[in-house]
Amino acid sequence: MLSFPGLKLSNIDAPSAGSPITVTDEGMLVVPDDPVIPFIEGDGIGPDITRAMKLVVESAVNKAYDGKRQLFFWEVYAGEKCNKMFGNWLIDDTLKAIKYFKVAIKGPLTTPVGEGIRSINVRLRQALELYACIRPVRYFDGVPSPLKEPWKVNMVVFRENMEDVYAGIEWPNGSVDCAKVRNFLTNEMGITLREDVGLGLKPISVFGSKRIMRKALKYAIEQGRSSITIVHKGNIMKYTEGLFRACCYEVAREEFSGLTVIEEEAQQKATSSLPRSKVLVKDRIADAMFQQILLRPEDYDVIVTPNLNGDYLSDAIAATVGGLGIAPGANVGDEVAVFEATHGTAPKYAGMDKVNPTSLILSSVMMLEHIGWKEAAALIIKGIERAIQSRIVTYDLARQMENATEVSCSKYAETICKNM
């Protein structure tokens, strides 16, 4: 048994092979040639797409590095499987493991609507301080799309992950606590509310808003992106989403002044052209932005939003290029990153080896890029592009494509491997 100093687990065994990824004092990843990658297979279709993802990633790493590098996937637990094994939907060992090894990947997890357990996804993000949900959306040639020109879509959404209504601060109607909050608002603040309300808070802080904008701007600059758009509803929620907008602009002006140009200021100066070396910073009202992604997608590059807006918007953008089945995602903090499928658990297809695993496979591409293994990431992209262009795809795409060959989830993964 290998020794991992400082890793103390109560319910699961430590990895039998591999080494941990570490982080320097300056926040830089130090990645060995044999990193341990904790994974949560997920609920419903999770096991099917996780097997497919692992096959593709292991094949790409082997082909890219000829055996000189290897990932060691190590299972940790959350969701239905975790509850059956340990009587808990999320165990401390899982959190400890992800914190220790720094990089993890997960399938979709069940969250009941309206009642039952609190979202495990939200608990993971909050416990691990994964404050940035990052969702890149791009078009793959051959994928059916509702847009006439879907190839114009190439956006990356940075969604603040810790605050807003997703903070989970709410009280059910009829409860004692809800009555206390309602009475305080009525008696102390003069706010009239119906007796049968449910109540929740929408916290948005200066700290959280600046932190997500800072990460989004650094990404835009490093990746040579042309613009960043702040998406908000500050015209109505002036002291929450309005604050978010103001904080984002403050970061751009005060921390990145030499690298950015503000759209409004450029317009006031009647500037006809903008410096290509600078990132254009602009903002749009959330409801108007949904129209913009359909009518003028080429005008938008990096998007930064509060939590709820980002959830809606990233799903909507994914729909323009074929849906959540081909949309990857990551939840990232200052040290830890968890990559995930962006869709749900689709329990009616569980165990059928049927569904499209591309979302999780593309999330693994993000993971490989995150640890600096870009050669392996590029091979996977090539494999996906060729599989789709050859029309050998899973049922969700095959039913929309002419002369397509429908294959299983596992067969699709094998096709990707052959096309690397």
pLDDT for position 1: 56
Query: Is residue 287 annotated as a catalytic residue, yes or no?
Result: yes
State how far the alpha carbon of 244 is from the alpha carbons of 165, 234, 247, 254, 311, in Å: 14, 8, 5, 15, 16
pLDDT at site 273: 60
Tell me which DSSP letter residue 119 carries: P
Q: Give Cβ neighbours of residue 198 (< 8 Å, ≥ 6 apart).
A: 170, 171, 172, 173, 178
Res 324: pLDDT: 82
One digit per residue, pLDDT tens: the chain, 420 residues? 577 988 999 999 999 999 999 999 888 999 999 999 999 999 999 999 999 999 999 999 999 999 999 999 999 999 999 999 999 999 999 999 999 999 999 999 987 555 556 688 888 998 999 999 999 999 999 998 989 999 999 999 999 999 999 888 999 999 999 999 999 999 999 999 999 999 999 999 999 999 999 999 999 999 999 999 999 999 999 999 999 999 999 999 999 998 999 988 877 776 556 666 799 999 999 999 999 999 999 999 999 999 999 999 999 999 999 888 889 999 999 999 999 988 889 999 999 999 999 999 999 999 999 999 999 999 999 999 999 999 999 999 999 888 999 999 999 999 999 999
- Active-site choice (100, 166, 249, 300): 166
Tokens of 97: 């493991």
User: Which DSSP string do the residues of 26-93 spell out, in sequence order?
Assistant: TS-EE--SSBEEEEE--STTHHHHHHHHHHHHHHHHHHHHTTS---EEEE--BSHHHHHHHSSSB-HH
Mark whether 166 is an active-site residue. yes
164 catalytic, yes or no?
A: no
In 3-state terms, what secondary structure has residue 200?
strand
Active site annotation includes 139: no
What pLDDT is recorded for position 112? 59
- Which residues have C-beta within 8 Å of that of residue 366, sequence separation ≥ 6? 134, 136, 328, 329, 330, 339, 377
Amino acid at 389: Q
Over its C-alpha atoms, the chain yields an Rg (Å, rounded) of: 22
Distance, in Å, from the CA atom of 46 to the CA atom of 355, rounded to the nearest integer, reads 10
Q: From the CB of residue 278, how many other CB atoms can be counted at a distance below 10 Å?
A: 17
SS3 341: strand
Residue with tokens 């997703």, as numbered in its chain: 166
The residues, any chain, with a CB within 8 Å of residue 68's CB and separated by 6 or more, are 33
SS3 content of the chain, % helix, strand, coil (to 5): 45, 15, 40
Residue position matching structure tokens 């002419």: 402
| Residue 122 and residue 303 in contact, taking contact as beta carbons nearer than 8 Å | no
CB atoms under 10 Å from CB of 323, counted, come to: 22
pTM value is 0.91
DSSP 8-class letter at 19: B
Q: How many Cα atoms occupy the beta-carbon half-sphere of 128 within 13 Å?
A: 32
CB atoms within 10 A of CB 90: 22
Burial of 247 (0-12, 13-18, 19+ CB in 10 A): buried
Out of 92, 177, 287, 334, pick the active-site residue: 287
Under DSSP, is residue 192 helix (H, G, I), strand (E, B) or coil? Answer: coil
β-strand 103-106 against 154-160: which pairing, if any? unpaired
**pLDDT given at position 320:** 94
**Residue from 233, 249, 395, 412 carrying the catalytic annotation:** 233
Residue 275's pLDDT is 63
At residue 166, the pLDDT reads 87
Per the residue annotation, which of 311, 353, 395, 412 is the catalytic one? 311
